[in-house]
């Protein structure tokens, strides 16, 4: 199956960072949000709708973060 990208833009917020790096918990939250943006755009269903209409839910998120260099709030726009 080919790629099916979805474009998602999130504002950078100071609470996404600890004093040293981007927080991994924030990364997982953004991943789940982006995943459901894809479901909503491609399948026209929201997470509450999936549960309400199909009695199904899906929670499968994993992240392996390799911090190659420090990345703080002011390192990106």
Query: Residue 14: inside a domain, yes or no?
Result: no
What letters, b where the CB count within 10 A reaches 16 and e where it falls short, cover 24-35?
eeeeeeeeeeeb
Sequence-ordered alpha helix ranges (H) in the chain: 24-43, 47-54
Q: What is the pLDDT of residues 51-77, one digit of tens each?
A: 898 888 766 667 677 777 777 778 777
What domain range is 40 assigned to? Answer: 22-62
Could you read off the pLDDT of 4-24 as tens digits, one per residue? 776 777 777 777 777 767 777
């Amino acid at each position: 199956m080919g790629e099916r990208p979805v474009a998602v833009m999130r504002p950078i917020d100071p609470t996404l960072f600890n004093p040293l790096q981007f927080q991994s918990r924030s990364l997982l939250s953004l991943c789940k949000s982006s995943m459901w943006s894809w479901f909503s755009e491609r399948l026209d269903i929201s997470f509450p709708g999936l549960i309400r209409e199909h009695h199904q839910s899906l929670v499968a998120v994993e992240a392996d973060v390799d911090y190659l260099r420090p990345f703080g709030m002011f390192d990106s726009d």
